[in-house]
């Protein structure tokens, strides 16, 4: 385990335990809700359940005491930075918040962090972003079904986030292979998705290719 991953584990275990404890009050107030981790067992259930929050109730969360100040500042485009390691690294773990109603909001917040990501946070962002697309593919791509919530620019940002991790150690010789392997696996795992999600998977894969070519040209 390298130094970054050690620090990431320490900070996230400490800070995010507080974050998740805070969000539990929302879960308790909505007795009928089921955690995303459970819903993912049944792809049909999560597909229909996602309709419940496709109207981007992000403003409500931004004004909630359940959300960290850093997340609020990011969402409201206030003056923010990621140099305070503890809350910044804790923010990354919010993608996996147990409260499913918070996860799209934090997906929006993590998308916004890319604009100022560098150093340790950039490394963590790429790692967590790639793992999220792999471990929560249906949830990931469902976010893009409402373009009022997440548009093409957001999809390009997520392609860049994933490439932060995919491109580690990659060069012109093996980079294309790494990217192709990742996108082929993504398409294979989406075979049971509905047509809208499949189309968005294809779109995301093409977006990855576009951003990868940009990276190669810049280098």
Question: SS3 string of 39-52?
Answer: HCCCHHHHHHHHHH
Tell whether the model's pLDDT for residue 108 goes beyond 70. yes
| Low-confidence winner among 39-48, 182-191, 192-201 (lowest mean pLDDT) | 39-48
> To 5 degrees, how large is the angle CA 148–CA 149–CA 154?
105
| Low-confidence winner among 37-41, 137-141, 156-160 (lowest mean pLDDT) | 37-41
**What is the per-residue pLDDT for 28?**
36
Nearest to 167 by CA among 154, 157, 182, 156: 182
**What is the per-residue pLDDT for 55?**
62
Does residue 64 or residue 165 have the better pLDDT? 165
Tell whether the model's pLDDT for residue 39 goes beyond 50. no
Tell me how far apart the alpha carbons of residues 191 and 141 are, in angstroms, rounded to a whole number.
13
Tally of CB atoms within 10 A around 119: 11
* Mean pLDDT of all residues in 152-175: 88
Contacts of 61 (CB under 8 A, 6+ apart): 67, 75, 101, 102, 105
Select, from the ranges 8-12, 23-27, 43-47, 207-211, the one with the highest average predicted confidence (pLDDT).
207-211
pTM here?
0.74
Tally of CB atoms within 10 A around 167: 19
Q: Per residue in 63-77, pLDDT tens?
A: 888 888 899 999 998
- Element spanning 216, H or E: helix 195-218
Tell me how far apart the alpha carbons of residues 18 and 113 are, in angstroms, rounded to a whole number.
21
The token duo for 174 is 């093996």
Residue 36 near residue 110, CB atoms below 8 Å? no
Tell whether the model's pLDDT for residue 48 goes beyond 80. no
Tell me how far apart the alpha carbons of residues 132 and 146 are, in angstroms, rounded to a whole number.
19
């Amino acid at each position: 385990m390298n130094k970054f991953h050690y620090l990431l584990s320490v900070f996230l275990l400490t800070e995010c335990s507080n974050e998740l404890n805070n969000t539990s009050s929302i879960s308790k107030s909505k007795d009928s809700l089921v955690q995303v981790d459970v819903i993912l067992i049944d792809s049909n259930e999560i597909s229909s359940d996602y309709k419940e929050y496709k109207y981007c109730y992000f403003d409500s969360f931004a004004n909630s005491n359940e959300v960290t100040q850093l997340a609020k500042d990011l969402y409201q485009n206030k003056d923010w930075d990621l140099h305070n390691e503890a809350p910044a690294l804790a923010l990354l773990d919010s993608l996996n918040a147990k409260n499913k109603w918070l996860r799209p909001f934090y997906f929006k917040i993590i998308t916004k962090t890319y604009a100022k990501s560098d150093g340790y946070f950039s490394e963590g962002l790429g790692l967590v972003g790639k793992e999220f697309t792999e471990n929560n593919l249906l949830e990931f791509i469902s976010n893009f079904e409402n373009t009022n919530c997440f548009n093409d620019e957001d999809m390009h940002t997520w392609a860049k986030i994933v490439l932060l991790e995919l491109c580690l150690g990659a060069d012109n010789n093996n980079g294309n292979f790494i990217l192709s392997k990742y996108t082929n696996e993504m398409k294979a795992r989406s075979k049971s998705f509905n047509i809208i999600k499949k189309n968005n998977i294809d779109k995301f894969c093409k977006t990855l290719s576009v951003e990868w070519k940009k990276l190669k040209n810049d280098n």
